[in-house]
Amino acid sequence: MSDIRLDLNNICKDFGGLAVLDRISLQVGRGEFVSILGPSGAGKSTLFRLLTGGVACDGGEIRFDGNVLAGANPFAFMPQRDALMPWRRIIDNATLGLEVQGASRTAAREKVAPLFDEFGLAGFEQHYPSQLSGGMRQRAALLRTVVQNRPMLLLDEPFGALDALTRTAMQRWLMTMWAQHHWTALLITHDVREAVFLSDRIYALSARPARILREFVVPTPRSCRGLVSSETSRIEAEILDTLLSQQPDQ
């Protein structure tokens, strides 16, 4: 792959003697949307903790844009829940990351304000999170994430808590936004259909200690992703077969 942004090479991680990650190697190219699929407890979120500096790996190497990952964090991270602060209005939730980075509230608001219409939140700037629907809260959380202008997005099951209809709508919206902005993104998900719908490539993980079982390329044009097709059905079936064929003790 040319123009690699993120390169994980033989990453290992133990917690108190419990092996969680076993020689994980994966890559994400510039402008790619890549997903990681695996069973609960396999260590998917641990990978994100390694990337964001929450923990250190016990073996292997992480490179970003060709350099060993150290110091400044190049990632904008969106967690499973929207994590909006209930006492802050939506505009002040959206500016939080910028303020943490040292921007004044005025400067942060000036940067965020033009994006509210694009994210479907125009007119809700002064609302509190409790006044928004689940989908709108997730859009606000993604706005807070991307406005930090980091080189790469880390998305940790961002739609997992939504109902099926809202989740589908948010997946379609995210695909549209990704196509417009050409973000580089790494997504953790349990949803095979979501991964196939959104991704250029998918890595399937085994049960703990996690290792890469297989890499899947999604060749279906994005304009056809919302349609039922033999190609997408075949890929979904292959991914499910790969995941279900693994026993927990293997």
The series of mean pLDDT values per 10 residues for the chain, 250 residues long, is 84 89 94 91 86 87 90 82 90 91 89 90 94 90 87 88 83 85 90 91 92 90 67 87 69
Residue with tokens 């973000």: 183
**pLDDT tens profile 74-107:** 998 888 778 899 999 999 999 998 888 888 889 9
What pLDDT shows up at residue 247?
A: 53
Give the C-alpha distances (Å, rounded to integers) separating 221 from 77, 113, 179.
27, 33, 12
User: Cα separation of 205 and 207, whole Å?
Assistant: 7
Given phi > 0 = left and psi -120 to 50 = alpha, else beta, which region is 119? alpha
pTM for the model stands at 0.87
Read off the tokens for 222.
């994005």
Q: Is the CA virtual torsion 185, 190, 194, 200 positive or negative? A: positive
The angle at the Cα of 222, spanning 63 to 114, to the nearest 5 degrees, equals: 75
What domains appear along the chain, each with residue ranges and CATH number?
1-74+152-250 (3.40.50.300), 85-150 (no CATH)
Q: Is the peptide bond before 209 cis (omega within 30 degrees of 0)?
A: yes
Give the C-alpha distances (Å, rounded to integers) separating 76 from 11, 29, 42, 134, 204.
21, 16, 23, 21, 23
What pLDDT shows up at residue 223?
A: 65
